[in-house]
A = this chain, B = another copy of it.
Amino acid sequence: MGVEIERKFLVDHAKWQTLQKPHGMVIKQGYLLTDPEKTIRIRIKDQLSYITIKGKTKGISRSEYEYPIPLNEANELLSSLCEAVISKTRYCITFAGKLWEVDVFNGDNQGLIVAEIELDDENEQFDTPPWLAAEVSDDARYYNSNLSLNPFKNW
């Protein structure tokens, strides 16, 4: 089991527009299960596909299990057994020695840009990039599982 400890922030759109960005990765994902106790996700990222099981979020930590699966079966699972599918472009940006994953959402979540940092422990300190806006780690609406069921355009 991995344990995922991450913090999540909104992104200042104006500052983000002016930023020099690396190539983004297109991500398509859907959920076989969205439940307060656990989620089961199918994700296609740059032609690689995974099934990912995550346990209940406790504070900013949660257990995570991820296994590769064939791309054609990932597409079948997304179209036949997942509820709404979300898509986004992910940019990996290093700032002050830490990796930030910035997701620019498409489709029904267009207009939403979210940045995540993965930490080694819950109290780890880090420098915040200038394009960061409010923290939303504790706001369940921003869980990707919830964005698939209740997308940003409906808020």
- Are the C-beta atoms of B76 and A1 separated by less than 8 Å? yes
- Are the C-beta atoms of A69 and B67 separated by less than 8 Å? yes
A38: interface (CB < 8 Å): yes
Instruction: Enumerate chain B residues within 8 angstroms of A33, measured Cβ to Cβ.
Output: 32-33, 40
- Are the C-beta atoms of A63 and B80 separated by less than 8 Å? yes
A60: interface (CB < 8 Å): no
Question: C-beta contact mask, A18-50 vs B, less than 8 Å → 1, else 0?
Answer: 000000000000001100011010000000000
- Total copies of this chain within the assembly: 2
Q: Contacts A32-B38, A40-B32, A40-B33 given; indicate if A51 touches B67 (C-beta within 8 A).
A: yes
- Are the C-beta atoms of B65 and A67 separated by less than 8 Å? no
A99: interface (CB < 8 Å): no
- Are the C-beta atoms of A38 and B81 separated by less than 8 Å? yes
Min CB distance A135 to B, Å, is 28
In the complex the two chains form, what is the Cα distance from A79 to B50 in whole Å? 22
Residues of A at the B interface (CB closer than 8 Å) are: 1, 32-33, 37-38, 40, 51, 53, 55, 63, 65, 67, 69, 73, 76-77, 80-81
